[in-house]
Structure 1
Amino acid sequence: MRRITRIATVGIASAALALSATACGGKKSSDASSSPSESGQKSAAIAYDIGGRGDQSFNDAAYAGLKKAETDLKVKTAEAEPTDGEGEADKVQRLTELARKGNNPVIGVGFAYAPAIKKVAPKFPNTTFGIIDDTSVTGPNIANLVFNEEQGSYLAGVAAAKASKTGTVGFIGGVEVPLIKKFEAGFTQGVKDTNPNAKVLSAYLTQPPNFDGFAKPDLGKAAALGQLDAGGADVVYAAAGLAGSGAIEAASSKGKWAIGVDSDQYNQAGLAKYKDSILTSVTKDVEDSVFNLIKSVEDGKPTTGEIRYGLDKDGVGLADSNPKYKEMADVVAAVEKAKADIIAKKITVKTAP
């Protein structure tokens, strides 16, 4: 899906933000840093990851948090979409423009924003910058919103192993980076701890610096079909953003199970035609992480540093929206036991395969 760069204020018709203020004789970033929301209007912004809003997954979860803040906190909100093949300079410009216009906080959705936030945040010391899924960039005005993805993925592995009839399940990662390898590690461990004889097929759609594996559903569909047909898998778990929707489509076409990621994908409108094949989803409470950061700024006590969400705080989990999942008593019982054991630290989940 090809997207156009846009910076738009949610729910306000006339809200397009002007680009390239410096080039047009505006203030330098450092000059604008001390006066967020000069108009007196509260405002918060997010800059989307690859795939943009509408991915039915990671970005949409972040948008839900922004929308909740707009409704509950009465703040104005802005969004900025990525472009195909963009580089670090594009992200720097995007974050700079959002901060210059007085948005606070400004949240980068995804680890790809780390280099840009490292450059932009020091220029706007009175603006809080949030980054989701990254701890590599730190600073007095940076909040690192991170999750124990491996814990939720372990539960998915338990569910997959219990639901599988062939004893073979599949994992599909969007791009082979450390973050996605956490998903793979947890999933594989959960499968093997539940059924030591089970086989886990693993595949990555692209290698960095090619990040198409997070954006192209056709790649996810092809990989899933390979695992389902040639590999004999009957459950496929994809941690691949928008590309994961292709894996869900493939599983549905074969009458097999898919496991969603980041959002409860059973309830995503764009996946409604495949929902009966979505056994469960590994959820990350990206929505509340975004909302909580915005609220901390609005309360005058901006949260910074590492803010971690795990099973113990329901920051990650496994969705049970599909009635068919709830009917699988043995699956549910095994998942609940695994969850309790992880929280009690009886099980330590690996973060690398």
Structure 2
Amino acid sequence: MRRFSRLTVAGAATASLALTLSACGGTSTEAASSGSESRGDKGLAIAYDVGGKGDQSFNDAAYAGLERAEQEFGYETADVEPTEGETDADKTQRLVSLAKQGHNPVIGVGYAYATAVKEAAATYPDTTFGIVDDSTIDADNVADLVFSEEQASYLAGVAAAKSTKSDVVGFVGGVDIPLIHKFEAGFRQGVEDTDPKVKVLSQYLTQTAEEGGFSSPDKGRTAAESQIEKKADVVYQAAGLSGQGVIEAAAANKVWAIGVDSDQYRQEALGKYRDHILTSATKDVAKAVYNLAKSVEDGKPESGIVRGDLKTGEVGLADSNPKFKADTELQEAIETAKEKIISGGIKVRTS
């Protein structure tokens, strides 16, 4: 089992990595040709998705997993921000550079890393790679870390239908892609199964991530305000950093927001809005990231599709808000729905 003393704090490791990346230059192929074997003498490294660290959601959850691995295993880690307008070649070079430095495992946070992970994994077959929210890479040294987001979203739909007073609720998706369709499909089904009279409004912020759907709080705020004007008094968002704008709009208009990925009621940066965060549909990206690091540490690296769902406890509904937790009728409805999903009595749609 590897045991290495921590050489730097994560911030210094990131700064050092940035210098290495800028020194590499050229294409990802050129970077890989300077050395094809992984030294494997450093620990977990993650490359963030759009929005980067500080999104109070998806990326921050991945960083929490990195922090846990760093503290438990005592090795050097690295975390790297995305750049505006980057290409697949840029992503590939980033992952290749991390593997070349000896980081193992190396995780791309988000489906946008699919091409990069596939190419980097082929270049460094002795390094374990992971990708969050993608299940398309078939390689012995790649773990596809995916989640049944539709299941947690169904429970969010139950909560919304039980909490609305106007019989109108909203969904704001960051980007119009199949992954986010899973969130809407589960939410809509949960609402409809709980109370068919409740109307679900839906809006996607952009068609592509490059247009800012996951990184523009102002877009999220505008979309939520539009739904609130149409009487929505519970708004569920699956929009990354843009979701902060949804939560801000809900708080300003004294309606409920439902967070996503992380327990957003507990996020420090969202503290002034927490009285209006009913709950959050969570997926434990931190646990998935940590588990992959542990599997490498234990000498039995995960590979293939690694799925988190209600049964494994890696998706769920947060109960940090005391008002939400104290609503006995609501909690019973959620627990009943959860049990039926786990048993197969409810089949949750993904589109």
Q: Tell whether the structures are fold-level matches, with TM greater than 0.5.
A: yes
Query: Going by fraction, where is helix more abundant, 1 or 2?
Result: 2
Find the aligned partners of 1:268 and 1:146 in 2 and give their Cα distance.
23
Instruction: Deviation per CA, 1:87-114: give whole Å up to 9, x if none.
Output: 2121111111111111100000000000
Q: Which residue pairs with 2:21 in the alignment?
A: 19
CA distance in 2 between partners of 1:139 and 1:261 (Å): 30
Q: What residue ranges of structure 1 are gaps of 5+ in the alignment?
A: 1-7
Q: Distance in 1 between matches of 2:11 and 2:214?
A: 28
Write the letter of the residue equivalent to 1:304.
S
Structure 1 position 42, deviation (Å): 3.1
Task: Return 130-139 or 51-60, whichever deviates more.
Answer: 130-139
SS at match of 1:210: helix
Residue 123 of structure 1 corresponds to which residue in structure 2?
Answer: 123
Once the two structures are TM-superposed, the CA of residue 32 in structure 1 deviates from its matched residue by 2.9
CA distance in 1, matches of 2:241, 2:218: 10
1:302 matched residue in structure 2: 301
Aligned equivalents of 1:251, 1:226: Cα separation in 2: 11
- Structure 2 gaps, min length 5: 1-7
Q: Secondary structure at the match of 1:155?
A: helix
Give the superposed CA RMSD: 1.8
Matched letter for residue 215 of structure 1: S
The yes-or-no answer on 1:263 pairing with 2:262 is: yes
Identity %: 58
Distance 2:22 2:232 in 1: 50
> Could you say which residue in structure 1 is the equivalent of 2:340?
341
Structure 1 Cα separation of the partners of residues 157 and 245 of structure 2: 20
Deviation at 1:23? 4.7
Equivalent pairs counted in the alignment come to 340
Separation in 2, partners of 1:151, 1:314: 11
State the one-letter code of the partner of 1:241. Answer: G
Aligned residue for 2:77, secondary structure, equals strand
Residue in 1 that maps onto 2:3: none
Letter in 1 for 2:36: S
Report the CA distance between 1:11 and its aligned residue: 5.5
- For 1:241 and 1:19, locate their aligned partners in 2 and report how far apart those are by CA, in whole Å: 26
Q: Partner residue of 2:323?
A: 324
Instruction: Classify the secondary structure of the residue corresponding to 1:313.
Output: coil
Q: Does the CA contact (< 8 Å) of 2:38 and 2:99 recur in 1?
A: no
For 2:308 and 2:25, the matched residues in 1 are separated by 40
Deviation at 1:278, TM superposition (A): 0.3
- C-alpha deviation, 1:30, in angstroms: 5.0
Cα 1:108–1:52 shift into 2, 3 Å: same
Cα distance, 1:23–1:159 mapped onto 2, change above 3 Å:
closer
CA distance in 1, matches of 2:86, 2:25: 20
SS of the counterpart of 2:347?
coil
Q: Tell me the TM-score normalized by structure 1.
A: 0.93
If the length of structure 2 is used for normalisation, what is the TM-score?
Answer: 0.93
User: Could you tell me which of 23, 28, 32 is aligned with 1:29?
Assistant: 32
Whether the 8 Å contact between 1:32 and 1:124 is mirrored in structure 2 is: no
Residues of 1 paired with 2:285 and 2:33: CA distance?
30
1:208 Cα offset (Å): 2.0
Instruction: Indicate conservation of the 8 Å contact 1:9/1:79, yes or no.
Output: no
The answer to whether 1:236 aligns with 2:235 is: yes
The 1-side partners of 2:332 and 2:209 are apart by 41
Offset at 1:330? Answer: 1.2
Q: CA deviation at 1:209?
A: 5.7
Give distance in 1, aligned partners of 2:66 and 2:9.
Answer: 11
2:73 corresponds in structure 1 to 73
* SS of residue paired to 2:74: coil
- Counterparts in 2 of 1:232 and 1:106: CA distance versus 1, 3 Å: same
Cα deviation digits, residues 265-305 of structure 1 (max 9, x gap): 00001100101100000000100100000011111111110
Is the 8 Å Cα contact of residues 33 and 126 (structure 1) preserved in structure 2? no
